[in-house]
Amino acid sequence: MTTPEKPRHVEIKNADDLVVAEAEVTTALGPVGTVRTSMHAKNEHARRGDRTTLVDTVMDLPEVQASERVEAAVPYGDGESLDRLRQRTEDARTRVAGATTLLDANLPSAGRPAGQRQPGDELVADEPADGQPPVVG
């Protein structure tokens, strides 16, 4: 479980072991509170699907699954991450803050397993395109 003093760092790497996308994840108010994450992809290395893989990896973390709400920051214009965050959350609201888009949303209840595919989930990636597992630390 993460604490506000020690966020969890998540990385998605390509076949050349280069980081293509990463996130910082912190929890607030204990495991049933709010999880905050800041996500970004390295545009020179990221491929279609890498941002989706990052969102799925973050959303599948135990501390995220145990939380009720998520507050996410993604670079302005990162439609792939925002689309996947909307698919994985409920009642999502977004707003622009400079070069960042902020998303506030509720996390789904235990009624539907995390990551379950829904109609229209065309960007779902079960693992990175290079076949390498995501790095979570």
Domain 8-110 has CATH 2.40.50.140: no
Sign of CA dihedral 32, 61, 97, 86: negative
> How does pLDDT run across 58-112, given as a tens digit for each residue?
999 998 998 999 999 999 999 999 999 999 999 999 999 999 999 999 999 754 4
Among 24-33, 36-45, 128-137, the range of highest mean pLDDT: 36-45
Q: What is the DSSP letter of 30?
A: S
CA angle 64, 40, 11 (to 5 degrees): 65
CA angle 120, 73, 98 (to 5 degrees): 115
Rounded to whole angstroms, how far apart are CA atoms 48 and 69?
A: 27
- pLDDT at site 123: 36
Rounded to whole angstroms, how far apart are CA atoms 64 and 14?
A: 24
- pLDDT at site 2: 46
- pLDDT at site 136: 59
Q: Predicted confidence band at 46 (pLDDT cuts at 50, 70, 90)?
A: confident
